[in-house]
Each structure stands twice: as C-alpha cells, then as structure tokens.
Structure 1
Amino acid sequence: MKKFDKKSLLLFVALGLLLSLSVAIIYLSLTTQPEPVESLGTIRLVVFCLLLPILIKYFLQLIIAPFYSIFEALGRLKYPPIEPLVTVLIPAWNEQVGIIKTLNSVLDAYYNNLEVIVINDGSTDKTHDLVTQFLSDYQHIQFCKPKIKYLRLPNGGKARALNQGLKFASGEIIITVDADSVMDKDTVTNLVKRFNDPKVGAVAGNVVIGNKKKPLAIIQQLEYLYGFFFKRADSVFNSVYIIGGAAAAYRKSVLKAVGGFDHQIITEDIEMSTRILAKGYKTRYAADAVVYTEGPADWTGLCNQRLRWKYGRILTFLKHRRLFFSNNKKHQPYLTFLILPLAVYAEFTLLLEGPLLLLFYGYTVFASDYFPLAFVIVLMSLIIGMQILFDSKRRFHANLLMLAPVAWIIFYIIDIVEFQALWRSLKRLIRRESLQWQRWVRAGVMN
C-alpha cells in the first residue's frame, strides 16, 4: 500500500475536519432559531442581489444540461455515412515526459481514416530524440496503421506551430491534442459524429485530470468535472465558447475561412472558438470524447496556468467585444446576452468576493442563521453527485464523492487562485505587458 506524504495526510485530516464542520452547520441550521437582525439582514440581501445574475445562470444551466442527453437520445446526432479523414495535430514544446504516451493513445484510436502530425516547437529537451526513435520503430510495424508526419520547427509559439501543422494536414476534420494528454480509444469517433451539421465549426471534448493521486490534482479533478458539466447546456444552444486545445476538433474549411490561429493571444484555443462563433458557426460539446490531461503539480504552476488562461480570455473578450449583446441573427442570444456578459460580470464579483464573503459569514455568525449556508452545502453535494452520475467516466470520478460535502470550501481555494490570476492580468493589461508560456514540472498524465 502506498504511503501518504505529510501534505496528503494533512489534506485528508483537513477534509475530515471540514466534513465535520459541514455536518455541524447543517445541524445548527435545523436546530437554531435565528434572532432577527434587521441591518445585517439587509446586508445579506444586498450580497444576494449582487450574486443573483450568476445564480440565475447556473440554475438555468443546471436545468438545461440534462436535455443534452435527451437531444442525443432523440437522434440529433448521427454518424456520418463515410468516415472523413481526420488529422490529429500534436504540438509539443519540451514534452519528453508525455509525448510517447500521447502518441500511442492517438494511434490506438478506434478510427480507421486517421493521420497524425507531431509539431516540435523548438523543444530543448529530449522530445526530438524520443519522437524520431518512435518513428523509426513505427515504420517497421505500420502496415495499415495511421500515417505520422513530423515537423521540427524553431520555437515560435503554439499558435504558429498549429498553423504550420495545418499546412500539411490532409484531413477534413482537425483534432488538436496536447502532448501531455492521453486520448480514449473512442474519442475521435465521438468528436467526429458531432459534425453532422455543416454549420458546426468546432467541437469540445471532455478534458479530465488524469494525475489524481495528489491533493492538488484532486482539487483540479473536481473543478474540471464541475466546469465541463455546464458545457452540456452551452452545447444545446450550439454556443460552447471555450474549446480547450487539449481536446478540440475543428472543420478544416472553417479554420481556413476564419484565418487560422491567432499568434497574438496566448490562449489561441479560446480565441479560435470565440471567433468561430462570431462568424456565425455552431460549436458543440462531446461529453463522451474524453481526453485525460496532466494538471499542474504545484501551486506556482497552477497560479501561472490560470494567469495565462485569465489574461488570454480578457484579450479575447476585448477582441470580440462586438459579440456581446449582439442582435445579429447569426449569433445565439443565449451566448451574446447571457453567457458572455455574465462571464465578465463573474470576474467583477470575483474582485469583490472577499468583502462579500465577510459580510455573508458575518451575518451567519451574528444572527445564528445557518440555513443559507446549509442550503449551499446540501445543494453543492447534490450537484456534484449528479455530475458524477451523468459523466461517462463516473467510475473514474468516484473518488470525488467523499469531497462533495466540502466542495464549497474547495471552490473557495480555487477562487483564491483565480483572484490572483485576475489581479495579475489586470496589472498586465494596464501596463500593456505581454505574457509568455511558463514552464512547470511534469510527472506524466496518468502518474
């Protein structure tokens, strides 16, 4: 049996204490009769009103999300009569730890009409040696297996690497996979079948944190499960605006029509999916197209990752600001009047979250009114349980069931990381500073 390190043991002790706290709060909410505190009650009402738009969005998405499965069960999505040629692009920059595992997972896909292009974006580690050795061995056993192309480029960034890969891609459908990820065998098939409508320009896969043995990874696993669930609702309205490069599929003709990936924005994947929507195409989500990825293994890596995501999304919003509240018939009102405006509003409330939480918990303690907090704990536990039940990898996520009662605390931890990313992003925006990719320690996606 593997021994826990001190940090892991400390985390599980803390979770046990938090679980006990959750039970105590629920008990107090059922047994304590609060004294009326009029002024504090008014403060809590103000806090509630500030959060109301976001709460409405989440409840709306929770109601709509189950219809995702109903839409598919009714046959909205049918397999194409012929399997189109699919090109999988694997951009790699210093990915010696995971590149071979990624390649093997793609080559093992249950899809016959496939080609693979590995783009080495100026790696300085052993990535080139590993790939060339793999290709040498692969040539002897290739036969009817997918063709692999290998591009070795000077370092120019992920967007440039992808655009170079597109020049050599023969596929009608382009799939991008990060070189620290592992693809399920039926992921390609499940992504392709969402392109049954010619207006579908891109499809997001279901990204799952694979290295779930350490506490920080488990936190990210819960966060990904929670966040990706809401893409089901966005997919019902063909309005998935965040399609991460770790599991993304595009119609090649659409990529060419919109001009390829943007070199200026560090989150080229988010910018691309937003630009595709701005051009009037549809985007969807494939919950059963699973790609396991490696989350940052330390807090510094996580904070820097979220800085990149946050800053890139802000730049994307500024570039596509005309999409907000657009009444153009080619745009979905769900996207332009709900999702995008509330994404910005959520960043505003994140800046105010500290004072808001102080007011909320101040009222809870002084008024001895624990019912709202107990409601949040119970509701969050039910939501996490429902999300695990609906997920195609419910057994993989079974470890998260024990975290459901304390998910409300875990999301506060994530909010702290998001807050620092937002604060640093705003400072960079004011100073007009650029942002480069950050290195972080890799251990392997399934380690």
Structure 2
Amino acid sequence: MAKTIFWLCLLLPFYAWVGYPLLLGLFGLFAKPRPVPRGEPLSVTVIIAAHNEGAHIEHKLRTLLLQDYPASDLQIILASDGSSDHTVAAALALHDPRVLVLDLPRAGKAGALNTAVELARNDILVFTDADNQWSTDTLGKLLAPMADPQVGACGGHMIIPRPGHNLSLGDSLYRHYEAWLREAENRTGCMVSADGALLALRRELFQRIPPEVNDDFFISTCAPVAGKRIVYVEQAQVLDQGVDEAGKQYRRRLRVTVGGLQSLAQRRELLNPWRHGGYAIALISHKLIRRLAPVLLLPLLLCNLWLWDAGVFYRLLLIAQLLGYGAGILGLLDSRGRLPKVFRLAAFVLVTLAGMSVGLWQFLRGRRYALWNPQQNR
C-alpha cells in the first residue's frame, strides 16, 4: 500500500511539471506552423482596471496613446475601482478624448472590468494592468493574429527584466517556464489561457466575469467556449517587476490558486475531452493537476520515510527531498541574498508550493476573494 501511494504521489506531480511539458514539446515537433494572414486595422478598446495606481497611470496612458498600431478607432477606458489616491485625477489631467475615465465605487476588479466592457464601443477588447510597461509596437504585434477569424483571443509575453535579490529570481524563471509552456501549447493549437497583463479578446465573445474568479483566465477562455483559439504572441512583450518578499509571494500564490480553482469550476464544461479534445487535456494538465499536485508532496515524503529500507532509489529520493526543503528554508532565512542563487530558487519553490497547498484547502472550505489590492503583489 505504501508503495502504491508513493508512486501515485510521485507520478502526478512529475507529470504536471515535467511530463506534460515534454509531451507538448514532442507533439510540437510534428505540428505545422499556422500562417498569420494580413488583415485590415481593427477598432480597439483598451481597458485598465486600477486601484490606487497614481504612481503609474499617467505613464501607462501616454504609452497606450503613442502606440503605432493604426487602429480604425482607439478607445481607452480606465476603470478606477474605488481608488483613494490621485489615480483618477492623473488620468483626467491628460484631457484626451480617446480616454474615458470611470471613477467607480470599490467593488472588485471583476466589477470594474464588467462596467468598462459595457461602455466599450469597439470590436477588439485589450486588457492590461496599470503598472506594466509596453513598447510602442506592443499593440500591433498582439493583434496581428486577429486577422484569422478562428482566433478569438491573444496573449502576450511578460518579462521581469531586473529580478531582485530574493524570491523574484524564481519569479522570473517561472515566467520563462510558463512562456515556454504556452509557446508549446500554441504550436499544438491548445493554449489554455492568457496572462491578464496583455490580453486581447473579440468583443462579441465576452462574457461577464464572476466576482471570485481569476479574470485573465475567465476572459481568455471566452474564446474556446465559443469554439475559437487562443494564440500566444511572444513578440508582444510587457515588462513587469517580480515579488521579492516571501509573504507577498505566498499571499499572491494563495489567492491565484483559490481564484484559479473557482475559475475551473465556472469553466468546467471545458474539461470535457469528448467535446473539447486536446484543449481539455491541456487544461486538465496545465491548470487542474498542477494545482492539485502540491498537496501530494507531504504524503510522498511520509511514504518515502516509511520506505527507507525498500531500496536505494527510495533512499536517494528521500535525501533529495530533504535537501530541497532544507535549501528552501535556508533561502528564506537568507534575507540579504548572500547564499548562492539555488537557495533563492528553492525558497521560491517552497513558498509557491505552500501557497498552492493552503489555497486548495481554502477553496475546499469555501473561502473566496472578491476584492483585490495590486500593491500587495509588489
């Protein structure tokens, strides 16, 4: 019995983090690249939900207004979710007719986005955050695949150019891993979702966002619900900052896990392989099994202790686990970043696994997060 539990607890996490990406890479070798047709400029509404983003909003709006994409119509909607700083005043000070500023009461990000979409007048909705940085050609690169009518949503690539001295190093590497995974999914036509830092969706596909889901996942999956593809555009890049502090990293991963599982519950129809084929398998592998896998690591460790005398393989794996957890603890204690980078990476993994495990527990107990505070993630 102990061996059965051990192998179950080992193989599922291995598949989620290693096996699935390797299978995608293998299938991608045989996938033919899809040509990107040339299309006419589209009408675009860019939507930013913001809460106390006075330090970033003016620069972000000016960057959006300077995009070199020749949109047939450009509308920018800033939906301030109960900001108590000068976010609204800074946006209004631009005095640009293309910018619509909504000073909304505090209700949560989903409510702010839903209100903004109701006022959007254009065919393509582009969602982004106030604090990430665009280049002048970001919008044009993001929207290029929209010339294909079978493409319902597009997602860009987030980069952390200057990782800090602690956990943000792992954050940056995790972004690279996710980017590679999305590129592999993209080649096989089963990209499961896009990052909310840079996300485009056809207006006709939009569905109102429930208050307790991860908005970027829910918005981008409006495309496969309607039988359309999500496309990953690596060339469309945004710059962001990582999270160095363990407490902030833990809280972010916890909230993302709770919201992600709630999102999957809302989109459970997409988990049916008989109806959605390879996309459903990718969604189960990328989003469901990965979120369940961390809770298997503790029984894996306990079974491994029990199986110490079962052979050399079990002993070596137990030693590897103990070394990994020990390195993570030392990395958390090394607040000045004096230890080698591997300890910081181990600390990031340890905090991430803890946040995901507690997030699963909170989800099962009915805990939900409706409000948001972007400053907690910086």
| TM-score, reference length from structure 1 | 0.69
Task: State the Cα deviation string for residues 411-435 of structure 1 (Å, max 9, x = none).
Answer: 6632532333332442343245554
2:242 is paired with a residue of what secondary structure?
Answer: coil
CA contact (8 A) 2:49 2:79 kept: yes
Q: Please give the residue correspondences for 1:46-195 in structure 2 after superposition, counting only pairs within 5 Å.
A: 49-51=11-13, 53-54=15-16, 55-64=18-27, 71=33, 76-80=35-39, 82-113=40-71, 114-133=74-93, 135-136=94-95, 139=96, 147-195=98-146
Task: State the Cα deviation string for residues 21-79 of structure 1 (Å, max 9, x = none).
Answer: xxxxxxxxxxxxxxxxxxx99998666544454343121123345778x715xxx1123
* Residue matched to 1:262: 209
1:240 is paired with a residue of what secondary structure?
Answer: coil
Shift of 1:181: 1.0
1:88 is paired with a residue of what secondary structure?
Answer: strand
CA contact (8 A) 1:203 1:249 kept: yes
Number of residue pairs the alignment of both structures matches: 355
Shift of 1:318: 1.5
CA contact (8 A) 2:48 2:79 kept: yes
Q: Residue type of the partner of 1:327?
A: W
Name the % identity: 23
* Residue matched to 1:18: none
Aligned partners of 2:144, 2:80: CA distance in 1, in Å? 29
CA contact (8 A) 2:37 2:147 kept: yes
* Residue matched to 2:192: 241
Aligned partners of 1:412, 1:47: CA distance in 2, in Å? 22
Aligned partners of 1:112, 1:219: CA distance in 2, in Å? 38
Give me the CA root mean square deviation: 3.6
CA contact (8 A) 1:90 1:118 kept: yes
* Residue matched to 2:258: 311
Q: Please give the residue correspondences for 1:330-409 in structure 2 after superposition, counting only pairs within 5 Å.
A: 331=276, 333-341=277-285, 343-356=287-300, 367=312, 406=342
1:131 is paired with a residue of what secondary structure?
Answer: helix
* Residue matched to 2:356: 421
Name structure 1 gaps, 5 residues minimum: 1-39, 140-145, 374-401
* Residue matched to 2:345: 410
CA contact (8 A) 2:108 2:370 kept: no
Aligned partners of 2:360, 2:87: CA distance in 1, in Å? 31
CA contact (8 A) 1:65 1:229 kept: no
Aligned partners of 2:210, 2:10: CA distance in 1, in Å? 41
Q: Residue type of the partner of 1:79?
A: R
Shift of 1:232: 1.1
| TM-score, reference length from structure 2 | 0.80
The 1:110/1:370 distance shift into structure 2, 3 A limit, reads farther
CA contact (8 A) 1:122 1:156 kept: yes
* Residue matched to 2:219: 272
CA contact (8 A) 1:181 1:291 kept: yes
